Structure 1
Amino acid sequence: MTGHSDIDIARAATKAPIQQIGASLGIPHEALLPFGHDKAKISAEFIKGLAARPDGRLILVTAINPTPAGEGKTTTTVGLGDGLKAIGKKAAICIREASLGPCFGMKGGAAGGGYAQVVPMEDINLHFTGDFHAITSAHNLLSAMIDNHIYWGNALGIDARRIVWRRVLDMNDRALRDVVTSLGGVANGFPRQTGFDITVASEVMAILCLSTDLADLQRRLGDIIVAYTRDKTAITARDIKADGAMTVLLQQAVQPNLVQTLEQTPAFVHGGPFANIAHGCNSVLATKTALKLADYVVTEAGFGADLGAEKFLNIKCRKAGLSPDCVVLVATIRALKMNGGVTKADLAAEDVDAVHAGCANLARHLENLNAFGVPVVVAINHFDGDSAAEVDAVQTRVTELGGEAILCRHWAEGSAGVTDLASRVAALADGGSANFTPLYPDEMSLLDKIETIAMRIYRADSVVVDDSVRRQLAEWEEAGFGHLPVCMAKTQYSFTTDPTARGAPSGFTLPVREVRLSAGAGFVVVICGDIMTMPGLPRVPAAEAIGLNSDGFIEGLF
């Protein structure tokens, strides 16, 4: 185990020129749009030419519910990709881009850790190739054009009280959650209450990540519902005539980004929708491109399996025609102890009983994932201080459940510490036992879809839905949106809407507070409990420790 920070390890890595990484996948130099020496976008024309190729094996990495102790889902995704390469497989990984807000807030970096990282670490965690800035600009162009349309006579008859399109910024800033715009008199328009969300919560982000090409992107952007008239007729971005200009702003951003791991495994890092309020997966274009170029593609879904994996399987796979061959469920001894009632301050002490208790959370996720018809293996992401008895307790419990749990040391050892998992995942993916089936059919009613997830994934006893929400769902079904999947927005920390209810709670009610139609992305967002679409900074934000040293290198990202 090293004492070096993630950024020190990343900076010491030997990176191959990005053209060499592309060549390892059969991508010619002319199909790459380089951003410096170590990152590039892949051209749309080249991607279009891959359509007839067969797909590789798709491996999903998910996790138990996140805790302050850490689970290491991205680290395991990166490590597994390196491990597959180390055992002689042609592998690639697909992960999301990092949002600036969390990087300067609580989270630090988002490109793996230790000796299982994607590089260039600093770039990926900061401006990278400018995708998030493009999404922010496209979103706010639409916002500006809505207000401008009203200012110049409001020919569409938009009811200013029924504008549902807010603005976005890629920064945690609680002061912008609720604001009043257009103060200062006639020249500045009509004052109204609105607010900002973080860029990763934008429907434009979700659309970019679900689009298959530029034409599909523009169609989806045009379908965004931005406001309603007094008689509740929907007004779209196409009605505002913003879809063309928004597509222009996103033309380059929609192309997948290619980088590499510390061990020079190709890595597609593209898109990053919120896993609470959206579907929490990297772009369909990146995943599909990787599947045409590699034999094994390892990707991840946001937060715990009750949110990220459920949405990956019920939304992304359904929309993109993807079918995973294997699922890896990540857990740590530390996180299981927290789920078993141990405080973060007491995690260092061995506590096999707490591990046993915490395994209830792991067991429920395992059972849920098995319901999708895809083979599942548990990865125990090793930390210093994990005792042999604690690891044995997890492996024994998983075996009792009919599964298997493999200890992984990729954080400290890179690919050498994860070859056991890589070999088992490859065998499962090649075994042909996957018979993937989404949890519900398209034709099921929206309310039944909500109740299906609440009861079969969260294990709620009942769902409380106000009459106003029921009426809204019925109106959308009448308008032709009933076939859409539902995107559940709730806390990531628990199966319930109470973030403190760890483990495997049962006998609870799921409250549905609000529903929102993302007509462009193609899903209905279901708000359960209190969900924040614009985070705030913590008392001591990570930004306080980030800066440049005397040599001009970034310090404090981790």
Structure 2
Amino acid sequence: MSYKTDIEIAREASKRPIQEIGAKLGIGSDHLLPYGHDKAKLSQEFIDSVQNNKTGKLILVTAINPTPAGEGKTTTTVGLGDGLNRIGKKAAICIREASLGPCFGMKGGAAGGGYAQVIPMEDMNLHFTGDFHAITSAHNLLSAMIDNHIYWGNSLEIDTRRVAWRRVVDMNDRALRQITASLGGVSNGFPREAGFDITVASEVMAILCLSNNLEDLQKRLGDIIVAYRRDRSPVYCRDIKADGAMTVLLKDAMQPNLVQTLENNPAFVHGGPFANIAHGCNSVIATKTALKLADYVVTEAGFGADLGAEKFMNIKCRKAGIAPSVVVLVATVRAMKMNGGVLKADLGAENVNAVKDGCANLGRHIENLKSFGVPVVVAINHFVTDTDAEVEAIKAYVTNHGSEAILSRHWELGSEGSENLAKRVAEIADADMVSFAPIYPDDMPLMEKIETIAKRIYRADDVLADQKIRNQLKDWEDQGYGNLPICMAKTQYSFSTDPTLRGAPTGHSVPVREVRLSAGAGFVVVICGEIMTMPGLPRVPSAEAIMLNADNQIEGLF
């Protein structure tokens, strides 16, 4: 049996004017700033006007560690949102925007899949409303102003060996990871080492996603540490006088984007920090606004629960003063078999024992999520090759871990296939069984916070960090940054820092390569193992298959 591609399904969708979608949440057309007919930004005036509304229930969708078999976290987020609307609930979804880097690299798209997608799919995966371009421009404006300040006399006495602010571009380009800037003579400035990160790793992205309004945004931008003097004292963005102009560039990007699902239900798509190198959640302003407009808000956190959900709980919930009423943990039969040692080429054959062997990864995520004091439901994202015996093996395993697993067929059937999942999730959310708490307090020393995450979430034996890193953390504590949460940057493919270690590894250590202070965003980034803040393209990038067909329609996105 052949199935339509995601882009074919999206292209055939019956879209409604964005004003109709806004009306479902009580948003008047005068408060929607349209980008064409099918997407719009929400005005700050309207956001301010709904702050006294009742707050809805927040539902977090996360997943097991990703495998080449695919898990479908965004697909499940969209399917669950549609399912809640199908059973008569007033629901909205909140997801991140797609980065061009992985879109042209390995992923090929990030708007859900099958009959559980957000549309317009092509726009979302490409330039959308220009938010990422604005973030890139604001970030690089600061870069230019730093070097310009040094060129024109350096009155702030910046040590050019200690410029901490790198440049960004929204593309996977390994050649830019480490560069030498300002070559070519006196008129081009003072040569120094520099480098690029991908835009989604920018502190500006994190700041936009954690800010409550433009005033908060500008203050956080001003707090960015861009460099140090010879006496190691910090130089801030506000010292460079870049925070005002950066805020101007981000004025429109700060406003949440409203689009729709295939079933014409409201979806907020805003912000896009990666979860393996940043904090992996959509914007606070979009999530909190949706909670004032809908009774149920379904959001996601990137990659596996060891990264996305951990940061959602310890960073986003802590900063925004929110908590999920229930967590949905996405797993697939195929991924369980891969964790159980089955090769990708053999996933189509029934293998109940491999499913059981691979469930250790699932079990550890369940335990970790419960440690935050939240109820957990496992969503088995159905693939057509799954057998009843394989599905039952997962259900039995999850039951033995004190939770429950529900098969969901939203990819194939849309909301009809997610109805059972939606009913159970709504019941649990309404039961108010949450006793949420982050796994470490604000006043715990930074190194102890890192060790807490490594030992409690990754189940590592210890953290390997040399004295230089430990001294850096202590210096930041002395400067008043000891109360910040930790943003771990590590591989998404394993609980460990070794991407080849699947399942639920023990007996491993977490090597810390570098630490970066994101004083504006309000967290410390801890870079572990071989993880890169500028990814590279794969041997055969998705870009090779993305093109316009004879009808000028985009092909190759998925």
1:516 corresponds in structure 2 to: 516
1:105 and 2:112 matched: no
2:8 corresponds in structure 1 to: 8
1:394 corresponds in structure 2 to: 394
2:155 corresponds in structure 1 to: 155
Distance 2:279 2:22 in 1: 28
Distance 1:401 1:158 in 2: 55
Distance 2:34 2:113 in 1: 25
1:96 corresponds in structure 2 to: 96
**Structure 2 counterparts to residues 163-178 of structure 1, below 5 A:** 163-178=163-178
**Structure 2 counterparts to residues 349-364 of structure 1, below 5 A:** 349-364=349-364
**Structure 2 counterparts to residues 409-488 of structure 1, below 5 A:** 409-488=409-488
Please give the secondary structure, in 2, of the residue aligned with 1:524: strand
Deviations 1:207-252 (A, max 9, x none): 0000000000000000011100011110011000000000000000
Please give the secondary structure, in 1, of the residue aligned with 2:14: coil
2:53 corresponds in structure 1 to: 53
Tell me if structure 2 keeps the 8 A contact 1:67–1:493: yes
Counterpart code for 1:363 = G
Distance 2:192 2:432 in 1: 57
Counterpart code for 1:265 = N
Tell me if structure 2 keeps the 8 A contact 1:455–1:461: yes
Deviation of 1:461 after TM superposition, in Å, equals: 1.2
2:73 corresponds in structure 1 to: 73
In structure 1, stretches of 5+ residues that fail to align are none
After TM superposition, the runs of 4+ consecutive aligned structure 1 residues lying more than 2 A away are none
Please give the secondary structure, in 2, of the residue aligned with 1:436: coil
**Structure 2 counterparts to residues 76-87 of structure 1, below 5 A:** 76-87=76-87
1:270 corresponds in structure 2 to: 270
Deviations 1:416-466 (A, max 9, x none): 001000000000000011111111111111111111111111111111221
Tell me if structure 2 keeps the 8 A contact 1:10–1:119: yes
Deviation of 1:527 after TM superposition, in Å, equals: 1.1
Tell me if structure 2 keeps the 8 A contact 1:96–1:270: yes
1:379 corresponds in structure 2 to: 379
2:184 corresponds in structure 1 to: 184
1:316 corresponds in structure 2 to: 316
Counterpart code for 1:179 = I
Tell me if structure 2 keeps the 8 A contact 1:64–1:304: yes
1:540 corresponds in structure 2 to: 540
Tell me whether 214-223 or 47-56 shows the greater mean CA deviation: 47-56
How many residues in Structure 1 have an aligned counterpart in Structure 2?
558
Q: TM-score, normalised by structure 2?
A: 0.99
In structure 2, stretches of 5+ residues that fail to align are none
**Structure 2 counterparts to residues 223-238 of structure 1, below 5 A:** 223-238=223-238
Deviations 1:325-375 (A, max 9, x none): 000000001111111111111111111111001000000000010111111
Deviation of 1:2 after TM superposition, in Å, equals: 5.9
Tell me if structure 2 keeps the 8 A contact 1:2–1:412: no
1:505 corresponds in structure 2 to: 505
Deviations 1:307-327 (A, max 9, x none): 000000000000000111000
Please give the secondary structure, in 2, of the residue aligned with 1:399: helix
Counterpart code for 1:194 = A
Please give the secondary structure, in 2, of the residue aligned with 1:480: helix
Distance 2:202 2:247 in 1: 15
Distance 2:360 2:118 in 1: 32
Deviation of 1:174 after TM superposition, in Å, equals: 1.2
Distance 1:505 1:473 in 2: 28
Counterpart code for 2:276 = N
Deviations 1:252-279 (A, max 9, x none): 0000000000001100000000212211
CA change 1:297–1:2 in 2 (3 A) is: farther
Please give the secondary structure, in 2, of the residue aligned with 1:525: strand
Distance 2:183 2:430 in 1: 62
Distance 1:403 1:89 in 2: 24
RMSD: 0.8
Distance 2:114 2:349 in 1: 23
